[in-house]
Amino acid sequence: MIKFSRPTILMCPPDFYGIEYEINPWMNRSVPSDLERSKRQWNALHDLLVQLGADVRLMQPVAGLPDLVFTANAGLVCRNKVFLASFRHAARQGETPVDAEWFQSAGFETIAFPSGHNFEGAGDALFCGDTLYAGYLVRSDVSSMQWIGTQLNCRVIPLQLVDDHYYHLDTCFCPLNAETALYYPGAFDDYARRALSQIRSLIPVQADEAARFACNAVVVGHHVVMNQGCPQLESDLVKAGYVPHSTPLDEFLKAGGSAKCLTLRLDGEEAAVWP
């Protein structure tokens, strides 16, 4: 069993990050990223997480894989197992062997999906308490989420995403603890909103801040790290007993990512509860 003494996060430097293709509405090759500015923003996020007590592990960037920087999509981590991503788009499928090699070298057992399944890691699979909330339709398949449920013997609640701008669950939903979560209601269908209502405390995010990827936040204890420009959510978090930290991540918004997309908890989210 792999043991961690403090919050442990996987990140990948943005050495080869760029808008090289278009697989979501945020990406536009005519609006390229600024590499030096991307590096400054990534470094600021990295340093902030370290200051908050996280142990940040690094994956080596690889030329030709610009989205490898978004480590949240690499897989779903559960104890010493990782359910590896099976990307829908060919442009990202080359990431999986790189991710698998890193996890195996770090001592994790890697598990691949049966053929024909699409699954995009912690981008679409997030625990709140002992329930796995699973985004599907845009990138991941509901059958993939059900398969994970059988492997982990856990409760899975599928949530249909209805707006391609919020193509992954972590762009519109963020557990803060076992009974509290952020969410953007406009990203979900009616059934999903009803399913989410079982969470004891839901903090809604307004549309303009959702478009700043306010929900794509990193939780480290009672600290919440997010993109700058979300004052209403910052105020709501303070009222809920959390300490918000904003940092500029606009360069990554160009690819449809922000703080959570750039990180993967290797020790399991604080909200995840396992017997």
Task: From the candidates 165, 168, 223, 245, give the one annotated as an active-site residue.
Answer: 168
Sole residue written with tokens 């909200």: 271
Strand ranges, E, within 161-235: 173-177, 180-183, 201-204, 218-220, 223-227
- Element containing residue 265 per DSSP (H, E): strand 264-265
168 is an active site residue: yes
Task: Round to whole Å and give the CA distance between 95 and 93.
Answer: 5
Task: From the candidates 12, 78, 230, 261, give the one annotated as an active-site residue.
Answer: 261
Closest C-alpha to 156, from 124, 132, 122: 132
State residue 159 phi and psi, 5-degree precision: -125, 115
Sole residue written with tokens 């992954």: 168
**Which residues have C-beta within 8 Å of that of residue 17, sequence separation ≥ 6?**
33, 35, 38, 42, 61, 66, 67, 69, 252, 255
261 is an active site residue: yes
Percentages of the chain per state (helix, strand, coil), in multiples of 5 = 30, 25, 45
Q: Which residues are catalytic?
A: 168, 261
